[in-house]
Structure 1
Amino acid sequence: MDYLKKCFSRSDRQGRAVSDPLGRLGRHVRGPQLGISTLIIVVALYFTLFLNNAFFAEVIAKSGVDGAARALLLLSTAAILTSLNVLFLGLLCTRWTVKPVVSLLLVLSAAAAYNSDNYSVYFDASMVRNVLKTDSAEAGELLTWGFFLAVLMKGVFPAVVACTVRIRRPSSLASAVLARVLLLGVSVVVITGAAFASFDNLSSLMRNHKPVRYLATPGNYLASIAKVVREQTRAERGPIQVVGPDARMKPHPPGAKPHFLVIVVGETVRAQNWGLNGYSRQTTPQLAASDVVNFSDVTACGSNTEVSVPCMFSVYGRRDYDRDKIRGSESLLHVLERAGIKTLWRDNQTGCKGVCADLAFESFRVPIKDGLCDDQACRDEIMLRGLHDAIDDNPGDVVVVLHQLGNHGPSYYKRYPEVLRRFTPDCRNADLGKCTRQQIVNAYDNAVLATDDFLGKAIRMLEQDQSHDTGLIYVSDHGESLGEANVYLHGLPYAIAPDTQIKVPMVMWMSEGMKSSNNLDLQCVRDRSKRPASHDNLFHSVLGLMQVRTKSLDESLNLFSGCSINSGSTP
């Protein structure tokens, strides 16, 4: 409580603490006496020197210069970064607000720096959206002892020290204004001079490697938060755009069974560790024993769930990417419903990201007392329970989406049961820094085995269905970095995201009835699977497979187009 009192106390002309809004909470710890401008400069220097390791490491790696040129670039960049922070704090802080503002920024910046230093996290707007949409179970896995220690040492402790500082009161309002104008003016001069001192190298870096700025703390997350808030508070969003208003389903012939398609949206499974793609380990033994079609070169819409899931179910996709347009339009599921096909979204993640808005939705995210669940989450197999009961009241065609928890990190070891713990020693810690890279890969591959097991069980369930012609499409939302180039997890800006984060597996399976009702030549589809594909294909391929006709269907993106037996089977 002394800490809180000190943070919100004010000082008299001699720098002595006087009564504060929190009342008398104890004796103050007397720290050094500083002017507000001095405190701002010290804090700005602290940000630069101690909370921007990842930023300066990336500047060195991307600049392509060495020797004296590198030293000058680093000095110029440090001067600019410090001065920008001085400008920001100088415009924001007053004698009454400087301590709480500085304390909050120190703690938040320490948390951001930990993730950037250890996992190469870039805090752009997309990452901020991920953070804001993360639920408690997902966030809990990231709150390791290493994280708390780093935040304590680099954030909380400096914040306490800042709160013990006695702010020197200026002699008059005029002198305070003059001092602030001088502080801001000098900052602008330093920024200008530093930029000119290393203009060629600095401009080249910023022009060719723009995402580097999302490592610069605290400006990275502050600017991104402002952007996200601005997006959320726009006055006019307009009505949701209708997609496929003409959608109609081709009638089944008399006596034919209705269609039941399961779309499995995987989580954080990358193509490089997918057994069917030729990985050195067989991580997909059950799928390998099934009659599936594997697409070996598939590119995701994004490097995180917030981008990929809405994008893959959108008519616009990545090729015409516009986040506002995607969020403001109906999804594939709405088009299917309009055509007379019932949909259901079953979720073991953090929601459908607007894809199933106003449609049937079931969540399995809250753990229950079950052998498939621990105190934080349930394994994906729980979504298969009662699935037929959930669709039995729909006599027609049905599409069910199963949104997996999948390989979500960093606690890969929680995603598989002991029986699937085949690659050892595996990392049994959410703090990946405490494991070797091979242990991390082992845990990740075991989690891929769990996805293979889940898909194998789903296919066997669909094979036994006597009331429907059945099919399954599996595609992961994005991939994962497992330490390549010292990058972990996912969510890098798309422009610089490595293939490990944007190359994903995709698999399709169909019953004989589903193939027959669509006149599909499966060998033609297999031939097509060897060519590049992407999340953009999902919207149009599902419409094609479910025999929905609409002007919104682009046959060039329908992976089944041209593979009808009647059309000559030309992929």
Structure 2
Amino acid sequence: MKKTNYFKWLWPKASLQITHFVLIMSLATFLLYHFPFFTFVLNNIDHCSRNGIILIISLVVLMLAVNALSYYIIFFLSRRIGKVLLVMSLLINAGALYFINTYGVIIDEGMIGNILNTNFEESGIFFSIRLMIYILFLGVLPGIYVIRITITKVPIKKFIITSCLTVVFILALVFANAGNWLWIDKNSKALGGLAMPWSYSVNTSLFYIHKYKKEQKEVLLPDAAIKDDTRSVMVLVIGESARRANFSLYGYGKNTNPLLSKVPNLFHFNATSCATYTTAGVKCILEHTGTDELYETLPNYLYRNGVEVIWRTTNWGEPPVHIDQYLNREALRSKCNGEGCNYDEVLLDGLKEQIMASKKNKILVILHTSTSHGPDYSKKYPSRFETFKPVCNSVELGNCTQKELINAYDNTIVYTDYILYKVIEDLKGLQGYNSSMIFVSDHGESLGEKNMYMHGMPLSIAPKEQYEIPFIVWASDSSKRLKPLNEVSQGHVFHSVLNFLGVQSPVYNEGLNIFSE
């Protein structure tokens, strides 16, 4: 009995070379599923300007090239598996597009978490005729085409040449748009949540990676011991995007450190960060050694070994913190009054009293600031700190003059100067304590040099502005002096804090300690 092929009338069998097939599918993916993506782009950029037109064209070309390259590699490796994956992708694209258009959602990591944590009974309420229409016309029918088509392979030499040239083209296009990286970074959540199939594929991967990291147990360090009863308090201030070049303490031409420059017993070292983004930079500051492993961090280690640890933050990107006294921005603001509560001064509200209320002899305070984080530098400080004018008030930094941009950033350094000065004044007011403050930034910042903005470049190719950071130390008269070091790193923090607080540990490294006996 002859078997009837019910799909013949839809699409007769055809044959295409893999190169032509992936170009067609990349174009189809772009046309069928990216209307919300480009609606968002057009609504959030001046699409009539020259720069706006260039960005839109670049995004179109980039999307076509990236999808085509991905399909090309998968189908070259296995046409059978490629078809299965592509058909699944088309069906998911259709469903995702339905939810984006119907509910205005963004398929980001949080939304993926919601989807994966929704049971079948709850998800049933979303099924509708309209959803079925989306699935049929934007998923099933294109899927039939993929199934029906015969794809012919290309020689491996041609595959390698084509792939390499495409990668070079994509990289060239990305770097040609360096001036738009800031806008893309600012809108990355929405752009990434609307780009198919990357919205759900990448964010699903991120969801499980972050879930694994949250469930991952820290590698505990060997037990430590407190060797004396001297009352000591160390305040570690972790700066955000503070680059060394703009601190007048380091020779900058504008007076961005009017208060710290007059403080006795203040020292500063040249330092570099081990990364150009917050999560890695903060991790590096808090760990005893540079590694990809999740070792017990400084606050957790000291807290477990009997030190009073206080963490106050207006930022994010911290490794897991397991202490009792952890206060984030919302908790701090709820108990704070005045203009400063809307800025990083909130970190200092009630801090002195909290230190004095401690019944322990050894205290570590960590203040994680956000003062110099762009792109809205001019919104990170109270108006009275607008020392340098005019300032850039736009989040599209490429639209500001270099002078306006640097003025706005420099004002965040002036505000940082004030916050650090206030910390030192609070420490001076503590009776009977040896006290010290260390300020170190998580990474630096680009301010338009070589058409680059903010941070996050791979360290191997990052400009020095993104990894040359300040490392500023103050010590009370009765505390230890500092070693005459020319260069330090974020790795010096862990061991210097242990030394200052008189904590003995098997992991202590005297070579990474800044204090002399």
Q: Structure 1 residue 263 and structure 2 residue 241: aligned?
A: no
- Cα separation, 2, equivalents of 1:359 and 1:172: 54
Figure out how many residues of one structure are paired with residues of the other and give that number: 426
Gaps of 5+ in 1: 1-12, 16-34, 52-74, 113-127, 134-161, 565-571
- Cα separation, 1, equivalents of 2:454 and 2:109: 16
Q: Structure 1 residue 386 and structure 2 residue 353: aligned?
A: no
Change (3 A) 1:235 1:80: closer
CA contact (8 A) 1:302 1:478 kept: yes
Show the counterpart of 1:177: 147
The correspondence of residues 275-354 of structure 1 with structure 2, limited to 5 A, is 275-317=248-290, 321-322=291-292, 325-326=293-294, 329-350=295-316, 352-354=318-320
The correspondence of residues 70-219 of structure 1 with structure 2, limited to 5 A, is 82-85=68-71, 91-93=85-87, 97-101=92-96, 177-179=147-149, 182=150, 185=151, 189=154, 193=158, 195-196=160-161
| SS, match of residue 512 in structure 1 | coil
Q: Specify the code of the residue in structure 2 equivalent to 1:552.
A: V
- Cα separation, 1, equivalents of 2:314 and 2:97: 39
Residues 61-114 of structure 1: per-residue CA shift (max 9 Å, x gap): xxxxxxxxxxxxxx99976752425769963446754434467899xxxx99xx
Show the counterpart of 1:248: 225
In the TM superposition, residue 490 of structure 1 has moved relative to its aligned partner by: 1.6
- More deviation in 35-44 or 334-343? 35-44
CA contact (8 A) 1:346 1:361 kept: yes
- Cα separation, 1, equivalents of 2:143 and 2:315: 57
Show the counterpart of 2:503: 548
CA contact (8 A) 2:30 2:64 kept: no
- More deviation in 456-465 or 334-343? 334-343
Q: Structure 1 residue 451 and structure 2 residue 416: aligned?
A: yes
- Cα separation, 2, equivalents of 1:303 and 1:452: 22
CA contact (8 A) 2:241 2:444 kept: yes
Q: Specify the code of the residue in structure 1 equivalent to 2:247.
A: W
CA contact (8 A) 2:277 2:456 kept: yes
CA contact (8 A) 2:388 2:407 kept: yes
- Cα separation, 2, equivalents of 1:308 and 1:172: 45
| SS, match of residue 511 in structure 2 | helix
- Cα separation, 1, equivalents of 2:110 and 2:479: 37
Residues 92-144 of structure 1: per-residue CA shift (max 9 Å, x gap): 446754434467899xxxx99xxxxxxxxxxxxxxx999999xxxxxxxxxxx
| SS, match of residue 513 in structure 1 | coil
Show the counterpart of 1:43: 29
Q: Structure 1 residue 396 and structure 2 residue 357: aligned?
A: no
- Cα separation, 2, equivalents of 1:168 and 1:331: 48
Q: Specify the code of the residue in structure 2 equivalent to 1:334.
A: N
In the TM superposition, residue 14 of structure 1 has moved relative to its aligned partner by: 8.9
- Cα separation, 2, equivalents of 1:211 and 1:130: 30
| SS, match of residue 394 in structure 2 | coil
Q: Specify the code of the residue in structure 1 equivalent to 2:28.
A: V
In the TM superposition, residue 507 of structure 1 has moved relative to its aligned partner by: 0.6
- Cα separation, 2, equivalents of 1:453 and 1:275: 13
Show the counterpart of 2:400: 435
CA contact (8 A) 1:83 1:191 kept: no
Show the counterpart of 1:364: 329
Show the counterpart of 2:383: 418
Residues 409-445 of structure 1: per-residue CA shift (max 9 Å, x gap): 1111112222211111001233324322221111000
Residues 222-262 of structure 1: per-residue CA shift (max 9 Å, x gap): 775454334235499664321131x112214xxxx511111
TM-score, normalised to structure 1, is: 0.63
Change (3 A) 1:44 1:261: same
- Cα separation, 2, equivalents of 1:132 and 1:279: 46
- Cα separation, 1, equivalents of 2:446 and 2:159: 35
Identity across matched positions, percent: 26
In the TM superposition, residue 359 of structure 1 has moved relative to its aligned partner by: 3.7
RMSD of aligned Cα (Å): 4.7
- Cα separation, 2, equivalents of 1:390 and 1:477: 26
Q: Structure 1 residue 509 and structure 2 residue 486: aligned?
A: no
In the TM superposition, residue 198 of structure 1 has moved relative to its aligned partner by: 7.9
Q: Specify the code of the residue in structure 2 equivalent to 1:284.
A: N
TM-score, normalised to structure 2, is: 0.69
- Cα separation, 1, equivalents of 2:156 and 2:64: 10
Gaps of 5+ in 2: 1-8, 12-20, 39-60, 76-81, 114-132, 185-191
- Cα separation, 2, equivalents of 1:131 and 1:39: 26
Residues 242-293 of structure 1: per-residue CA shift (max 9 Å, x gap): 1131x112214xxxx5111111111110111111111121211211111244
Task: Specify which of 429, 432, 435 is matched with residue 470 of structure 1.
Answer: 435
Q: Specify the code of the residue in structure 1 equivalent to 2:94.
A: K
In the TM superposition, residue 205 of structure 1 has moved relative to its aligned partner by: 9.4
